[in-house]
């Protein structure tokens, strides 16, 4: 049973790390699942309840940041709704046609084009597009760091479980 838990947890951890970059997969919450599973199987000998709670808080914080930072940074940089929607559309198009770098480039270009075409009052569409890009990159880095810490805790616990 332990080998199955570690194997499933390892696969889910890899998917979670990839999910930090892809906007479709919730990376940090997915990375938390193997740790929770390991806690349920191995108990407090592998993962303390305090560590589990700290990771849960970290995961919730990263998830909230992922939803709040990009629009907040875009708004602060002067982007309007067209720029923000353009960045999301650009991310999806970029991800489909030019993975994985199309995600970042698509967000930037989508915000820029959205501001140029539909938010003509904005005199600095480049600044707005850079704001969207900055917020998206910061949120991605926070998600990656959170998932990396969570995967590390899982790996450490998995090694203890198997040895």
> DSSP code of 45?
G
The pLDDT, as a whole number, for residue 83 is: 81
Tens digits of per-residue pLDDT, 119-129?
A: 666 677 888 88
Provide the whole-model pTM: 0.81
Residue 162's Cβ-count burial label (10 Å; 0-12, 13-18, 19+) is: exposed
The verdict on whether omega for the bond into residue 160 sits within 30 degrees of 0, i.e. cis, is no
pLDDT bracket for residue 13 (50, 70, 90): very high
CB 157 within 8 A of CB 35: yes
pLDDT tens string 55-91: 999 999 999 998 888 778 877 887 778 888 888 888 7
């Amino acid at each position: 049973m332990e080998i199955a838990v570690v194997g499933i947890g390892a696969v889910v951890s890899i998917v979670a790390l990839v999910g930090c970059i892809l906007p479709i997969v919730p990376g940090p919450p997915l990375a938390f699942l193997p740790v929770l599973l390991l806690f349920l199987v191995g108990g407090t000998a592998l993962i303390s309840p305090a560590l589990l709670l700290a990771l849960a808080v970290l995961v919730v914080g990263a998830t909230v940041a992922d939803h709040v930072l990009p629009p907040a940074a875009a708004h602060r940089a002067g982007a309007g709704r067209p720029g923000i929607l353009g960045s999301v559309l650009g991310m999806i198009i970029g991800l489909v046609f030019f993975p994985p770098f199309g995600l970042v480039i698509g967000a930037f270009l989508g915000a820029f084009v959205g501001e140029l075409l539909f938010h003509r009052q904005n005199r600095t569409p480049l600044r707005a597009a850079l704001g969207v890009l900055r917020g998206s990159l910061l949120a991605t880095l926070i998600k990656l760091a959170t998932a990396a810490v969570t995967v590390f805790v899982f790996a450490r616990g998995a090694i203890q479980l198997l040895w």
